[in-house]
Structure 1
């Protein structure tokens, strides 16, 4: 053959002719859709003024919905966010609802969790309280329990004997489980071979906490400002019980609550010391001041020395700041005075629970000397 007819990739079929047209059938799809309507002219937009004429299909769907609502005796769903589309359809372009028009999640459901995490345990679910002292103190304080778990092969001491006997007297089911199973149930927390299932902690109403403290000759309360570590909370409750405080109150938000970890750290003191959760810590402090309490805030730069605190012998509220930032601004301004703990060596600050223990011990000493 002549030319390059033997080259690789040569054409072996006849060349196609001109493509056939649509005959004008798709002419409308090639035409423009006109200008973009502003918000006040879009019937499906929340900024629609309602004065412009509705498209035919939108008006028809609205009339249909109103007629159905009247027949069923309910309000029409026109324009309600999160309802099925009744104000737009094929006759109105761009009818996908905006994010602000979708149904917002209802409040009061499961708490929000970080992306990638599941919150399968409701807030009011029972907890497992572990440790020999916490379990024994909880049983002595008649804390309601639904089950007692004892690991197989544990060393029996006087506490275990009393725990099993007390649980049997109260009719609490005794379940003997393997140590590995108890490890799994507690998430690896040191359990000392025993644990009880308890309902959520019952917080004391703040007004009752305040009234009960005023019945004592020398009332003493402890307030925690943003303590987020449950171990610090439990240790502070333990110190409050040791040095004669009548109660502890904490904020509901951005603060630790009484969990199994706090129970265990308190060594059972949470069963003896009333704990209250308040919505606003500043308002609770002001309510205590109106009842005659002097409120002191522990601060490393406080103007008053804890060893020279003359107000220690009267009604007192000791406010302990958070682990990192200390007292918040509003709480610090509400306190009657800021009290510091002098230290011999150059240390940045004390742990929150340690600072509370030092202050409460000094207050108890001054009160015993004044008695």
Structure 2
């Protein structure tokens, strides 16, 4: 047979025929053997579910890497506002040959008064550091935020000698809303703010600025699982009240205001998630005039926290 002949020149070059040319070598038997259970879709190379899982893991790694890196507030007005608010900057970057105005002078003066390093760098380097943002020749670097453990939030609240008042956010992804909620929480006597580890804004440069520096004064914690943490707090005597447009009571019926309380705020679009809503002891709505759209998370938080603070003052609990 041509394929198996031993005569010189009669054998084919290796690789010119698929499979073995001298018997099967046991390949048929191996082909009949079972290959074990089918892997999950996420584990099968090339499967759409595997590609989605890989993309999600890559995005999560990038988010964690970004969270550990310092951020830069860019722009003359934002930098001056951040310095006035007491945002803990580490370095003030000033572009070489900048057109100096009152904002630049004030930024340099405030940074010097606070002991913040002031560095003059080429405009191209400042472009790179700010990811091509409109910096107008000024950038303020702020360090990564140091979050507290959820147990530390409750302990700080109990150490205050007042009934604990904590604020938890369920999927608030806009850092401006987060900063505004932190500012309201500090203004109306809350003892801490809790964020979920995923699907939530963090204390970035934008949130720092919007909070007007109160993020440095109020403990902010992160929960790996928000529902589990709320249940843990409930088991320790705290009542859980969720802010929801279809609440079981309106703000006037919040009789738990003077008790140890956790106020939970939902996301800007979908509100409270199902599991978080089921964890709440009650849900609270804010009555509004007909035809008016719902309030965003930060405004609604301010309204509810202001009412809780008023009730506590009236009851002599603060």
Please say if 1:205 is aligned against 2:145: no
- The residue that corresponds to 2:120 in the other structure is 176
**Unmatched segments (≥5 aa) in structure 2:** 1-7, 38-43, 51-55
Q: Secondary structure at the match of 2:177?
A: helix
Deviates further, 225-234 or 192-201: 192-201
- CA distance 1:341–1:179, shift in 2 (3 Å): farther
> CA contact under 8 A between 1:206 and 1:277: conserved in structure 2?
yes
How far is the alpha carbon of 1:359 from its aligned partner? 0.9
How far is the alpha carbon of 1:292 from its aligned partner? 2.0
- The residue that corresponds to 1:62 in the other structure is none
- CA distance 1:164–1:33, shift in 2 (3 Å): farther
- Counterpart-to-counterpart distance in 2, 1:120 and 1:247: 23
- The residue that corresponds to 1:10 in the other structure is none
- Counterpart-to-counterpart distance in 2, 1:333 and 1:113: 30
- CA distance 1:162–1:123, shift in 2 (3 Å): closer
Give 1:262-273 correspondences, 5 Å limit: 262-273=207-218
- Counterpart-to-counterpart distance in 2, 1:23 and 1:362: 97
- CA distance 1:36–1:312, shift in 2 (3 Å): same
> CA contact under 8 A between 1:243 and 1:364: conserved in structure 2?
yes
How far is the alpha carbon of 1:243 from its aligned partner? 1.3
- CA distance 1:364–1:297, shift in 2 (3 Å): same
- The residue that corresponds to 1:185 in the other structure is 129
Please say if 1:164 is aligned against 2:128: no
Q: Secondary structure at the match of 1:164?
A: helix
Q: What is the aligned counterpart of 1:352 among 294, 297, 314?
A: 297
Q: Secondary structure at the match of 1:175?
A: strand
- Counterpart-to-counterpart distance in 2, 1:246 and 1:119: 28
- CA distance 1:39–1:260, shift in 2 (3 Å): farther
Give 1:1-371 correspondences, 5 Å limit: 25-26=11-12, 29=17, 37=28, 41=32, 47=36, 99=45, 112-113=58-59, 122-129=66-73, 131-138=79-86, 143=88, 145-150=89-94, 152=98, 153-156=100-103, 161-167=109-115, 172-177=116-121, 182=126, 185-187=129-131, 194-216=138-160, 217-371=162-316
Deviates further, 346-355 or 29-38: 29-38
- CA distance 1:227–1:149, shift in 2 (3 Å): same
> How many positions carry a matched residue from both structures?
280
More helix by percentage: 2
- CA distance 1:322–1:25, shift in 2 (3 Å): same
TM-score by length of 2: 0.74
Q: Secondary structure at the match of 1:200?
A: coil
Tell which structure's C-alpha radius of gyration is larger.
Answer: 1
- CA RMSD in angstroms comes to 3.7
TM-score by length of 1: 0.64
- Counterpart-to-counterpart distance in 2, 1:23 and 1:128: 73
Q: Secondary structure at the match of 2:241?
A: strand
Q: Deviations over 1:284-309 (max 9, x none)?
A: 11122122221100011101111231
How far is the alpha carbon of 1:187 from its aligned partner? 4.0
